[in-house]
């Protein structure tokens, strides 16, 4: 505390008396070190270190996106291929069965009593296909209904829909197979448990995976491999889970479209298969979404990531894609939160597909504010380090200035001593030289000013001095006498064959007894005695 007060006082005095050596040195050092630090800071800005956070996150997301989009492309591609193969196999099988029953594929609806048998005959093909595909469900929908007389018959189609409850687990498929849609008799005959949402037929009132695929197949004369369709994610009628369906038309040899078949990718499967590795980004999630005119149509998207981070109710429209200043893309839902991330187009169809215009993209994103928090946390850490460095500068300046100036101050103090010869070495050559110089000057003695000696001769101090000469010992007297004769201390030591230190000891006693404080004063008295021709 005292020191701080002293420094404060010194600074206050500096304005009046000029800056002390220590303060000057402290100031110079502080400016010097901080100038270096400022230079470093400018370099950091110039080299974009403060943007590194964004760059690192971008690189991380880029890698993750690359990995996930590759996985999605491969798995969805594989499902597409299996879907086409299943459609071709079922088409020929159904056509054969129709022929056996004596009906033409184009007249399927004329024999509703045969539908159950046709579906039942294909059950094994469907379970076999489901077992091989990384899919959560398989379906076969015939373009016919068991009861065309019902009021809603135009929206009802004979169907078999089986779900694999755990497509991600390698285990006996039978244990996890459930019956979602189809005649109950088939399920009971095969011992397959039904789901609570069981329906006898498929409701196609809002089913692009049926109507769209069948309609396109009837219009476009293309091979099945160019007619499969990935529907945007939807909840099946009566169900609760969202899923994407890949459907391919069942085309008989005469070109009749008998229905569709395909595979399902449920949201659970998508989540398990494509959840981003997000140990460092808890709120990162992945989204496979239809993309149209710079917007993600999230109502048809599937999400993967920790469930808490799913950003919005999927029923809510779309996300607008924009460019973020931080080199990420920005995604904003009208009146919703802003997200930042990256996306990449996923090719779900070959170039000459009937659906080549349909664009899908895989996006990795997180709330923009979360990304900003991640990045600013890093910048804050950097700034904190710079401030710490500045504190260290102040401390170093203080310590160095203090340590450097201390011997100078000591030397200056020693100059004030009566006997320069007794001043200790500073180990600073320049100061030691100065001390020696002053000491030699001291030893030679300086002529006292003439005008001052006359009054002094009459002074009581002079009287006292001459009186005290009598108190000197013999050894001291001999030294004093030689001083009187104009010898220096070294010469006296040589004459008396004594060491210089003994002479110094004698000097101290002589000063003490004669009541003088320095050699200079002693020489003045000796000179005065000479002038007065005093008889000693």
Partner 1 sequence: MFKRRKRAVCLALCLSLIAVLPGCGQKTGPDPKHPVTLEVWHNFGGQMQATMDGLVDTFNLTVGKEKGIVLNVTSVSGSAALQEKLTMIANGDPGAPEMPDLTTCYPATAVLLQEKDLLAPLDEQFTQEELSLYLPRFLEEGRLSDGKLYVFPFAKSTEVLFVNQTLFDRFASETGVTMNSLSTFEGIAKAALRYYEWTDAQTPDLPNDGKDFYTADSAFNLAQVGMRQMGGSLLKNESLDLSSPEFQRIWDAICEPAVKGGYALYDGYSSDLSKTGEIVCSTGSTAGILFYGTEITYPDNTTERVEYSVLPFPVFQGGQKIAIQRGSGIVAAKTTPEKERAAAIFLKWFTDPEQNMKFIASTGYLPVTNEAFENSMEQEIADNENIQKLFRTAVEVHAAYDFYIPPVFDGFNSLSSNYGKDLLTCLQRAREQYLALLETESPEDAYSRVSREALEAFRQQP
For partner 1, the binding residues (CB under 8 A) are 145-147, 150, 156, 165-166, 169-171, 175-176, 178, 183-185, 187-188, 191, 193-201, 239-241, 268, 272, 275, 282, 306-308, 310
* Close Cβ partners of 519 (under 8 Å, ≥ 6 residues apart): 418, 419, 442, 443, 445, 507, 511
Min dist CB 367 to partner 1, Å, is 12
The residues pairing with 286 across neighbouring beta strands, listed in sequence order, are 304, 364
Q: Which CB sits closer to partner 1, 281 or 519? A: 281
Q: Which CB sits closer to partner 1, 151 or 325? A: 151
Asked if residue 238 lies in contact with residue 291, where contact means CB atoms within 8 angstroms, the answer is no
Asked if residue 320 lies in contact with residue 335, where contact means CB atoms within 8 angstroms, the answer is no
Q: Which CB sits closer to partner 1, 240 or 253? A: 240
Asked if residue 431 lies in contact with residue 411, where contact means CB atoms within 8 angstroms, the answer is yes
Q: Which CB sits closer to partner 1, 198 or 404? A: 198
Q: Which CB sits closer to partner 1, 23 or 372? A: 372
Q: Which CB sits closer to partner 1, 147 or 499? A: 147
Min dist CB 141 to partner 1, Å, is 14
Tally Cβ neighbours within 10 Å of residue 295: 15
Asked if residue 137 lies in contact with residue 180, where contact means CB atoms within 8 angstroms, the answer is yes
Min dist CB 400 to partner 1, Å, is 20
Strand 156-164 to strand 338-346: parallel, antiparallel, or no bridges (unpaired)?
unpaired
Q: Which CB sits closer to partner 1, 310 or 513? A: 310
Min dist CB 195 to partner 1, Å, is 6
Min dist CB 244 to partner 1, Å, is 18
DSSP string, 75-99: HHHHHHHHHHHHHHHHHHHHHHHHH
The residues pairing with 345 across neighbouring beta strands, listed in sequence order, are 361
Q: Which long-range contacts (CB under 8 A, 24 or more apart) does 431-435 make?
A: 431/407, 435/411
What does the angle CA 340 – CA 373 – CA 316 come to, to the nearest 5 degrees?
Answer: 35
Helix count and strand count (H, E) for the chain? 17, 16
Min dist CB 280 to partner 1, Å, is 10
CA distance 125 to 295: 39
CA distance 484 to 522: 10
Q: Which CB sits closer to partner 1, 272 or 389? A: 272
Q: Which CB sits closer to partner 1, 310 or 359? A: 310
Min dist CB 197 to partner 1, Å, is 6
Helix (H) or strand (E) holding 392: helix 368-415
Q: Which CB sits closer to partner 1, 127 or 353? A: 127
Min dist CB 240 to partner 1, Å, is 4
Min dist CB 312 to partner 1, Å, is 12
CA distance 44 to 36: 12
Asked if residue 227 lies in contact with residue 248, where contact means CB atoms within 8 angstroms, the answer is yes
Min dist CB 309 to partner 1, Å, is 8
The residues pairing with 265 across neighbouring beta strands, listed in sequence order, are 244
Tokens linked to 452:
């001052």
Min dist CB 143 to partner 1, Å, is 15
169 phi and psi angles, rounded to 5 deg: -105, 130
CA distance 47 to 49: 6
**Rg, the chain, Cα only:** 52
Q: Which CB sits closer to partner 1, 71 or 175? A: 175
CA distance 169 to 461: 115
CA distance 49 to 386: 13
Min dist CB 226 to partner 1, Å, is 34
Q: Which CB sits closer to partner 1, 38 or 175? A: 175
Strand 193-199 to strand 177-181: parallel, antiparallel, or no bridges (unpaired)?
parallel
């Amino acid at each position: 505390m005292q020191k701080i007060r002293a420094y404060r006082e010194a600074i206050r005095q500096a304005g009046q008396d000029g800056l002390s050596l220590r303060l000057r040195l402290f100031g110079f050092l502080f400016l010097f070190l901080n100038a270096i630090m400022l230079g470093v800071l400018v370099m950091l800005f110039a080299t974009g270190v403060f943007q590194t956070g964004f760059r690192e996150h971008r690189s991380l997301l880029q890698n993750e996106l690359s990995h996930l989009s590759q996985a999605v492309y491969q798995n969805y591609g594989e499902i597409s291929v299996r879907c086409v193969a299943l459609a071709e196999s079922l088409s020929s099988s159904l056509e054969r069965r129709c022929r056996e029953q004596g009906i033409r594929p184009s007249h399927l609806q004329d024999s509703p009593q045969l539908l159950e048998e046709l579906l039942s005959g294909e059950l094994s093909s469907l379970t076999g296909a489901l077992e091989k595909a990384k899919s959560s469900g398989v379906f076969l929908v015939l373009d016919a209904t068991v009861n065309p007389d019902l009021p809603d018959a135009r929206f009802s189609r004979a169907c078999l829909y089986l779900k694999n409850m755990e497509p991600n687990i390698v285990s006996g498929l039978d244990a996890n197979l459930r019956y979602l849609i189809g005649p109950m008799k088939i399920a009971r005959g095969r011992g397959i448990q039904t789901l609570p949402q069981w329906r006898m037929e498929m409701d196609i009132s809002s089913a692009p995976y049926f109507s769209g695929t069948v309609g396109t197949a009837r219009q476009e004369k293309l091979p099945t491999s160019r007619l499969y369709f990935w529907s945007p994610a939807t909840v099946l009628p009566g169900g609760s889970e969202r899923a994407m369906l890949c459907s391919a038309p069942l085309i008989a040899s005469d070109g009749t479209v008998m229905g569709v078949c395909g595979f399902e990718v449920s949201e659970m499967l998508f989540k398990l298969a494509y959840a981003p590795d997000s140990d460092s980004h808890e709120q990162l999630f992945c989204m496979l979404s239809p993309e149209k005119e710079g917007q993600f149509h999230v109502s048809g998207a599937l999400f993967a990531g920790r469930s808490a981070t799913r950003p919005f109710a999927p029923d809510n429209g779309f996300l607008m894609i924009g460019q973020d200043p931080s080199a990420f893309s920005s995604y904003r839902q009208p009146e919703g939160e802003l997200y930042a991330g990256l996306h990449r187009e996923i090719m779900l169809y070959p170039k000459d597909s009937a659906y080549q215009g349909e664009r899908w993209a895989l996006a990795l994103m997180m709330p923009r504010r979360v990304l900003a928090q991640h990045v600013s946390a890093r910048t804050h850490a950097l700034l904190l380090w710079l401030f710490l460095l500045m504190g260290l500068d102040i401390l170093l300046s203080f310590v160095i200035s203090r340590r450097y100036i201390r011997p100078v101050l000591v030397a200056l103090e020693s100059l004030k001593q009566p006997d320069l010869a007794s001043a200790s070495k500073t180990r600073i050559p320049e100061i030691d030289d100065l001390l020696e110089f002053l000491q030699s000057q001291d030893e030679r003695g300086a002529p006292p000013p003439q005008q001052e000696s006359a009054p002094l001769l009459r002074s009581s101090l002079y009287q006292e001095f001459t009186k005290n000469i009598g108190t000197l010992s013999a050894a001291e007297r001999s030294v004093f006498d030689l001083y009187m004769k104009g010898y220096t201390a070294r010469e006296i030591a040589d004459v008396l064959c004594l060491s210089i230190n003994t002479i110094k000891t004698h000097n101290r006693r002589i000063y003490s007894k004669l009541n003088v404080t320095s050699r200079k004063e002693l020489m003045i008295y000796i000179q005065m005695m000479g002038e007065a021709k005093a008889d000693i």
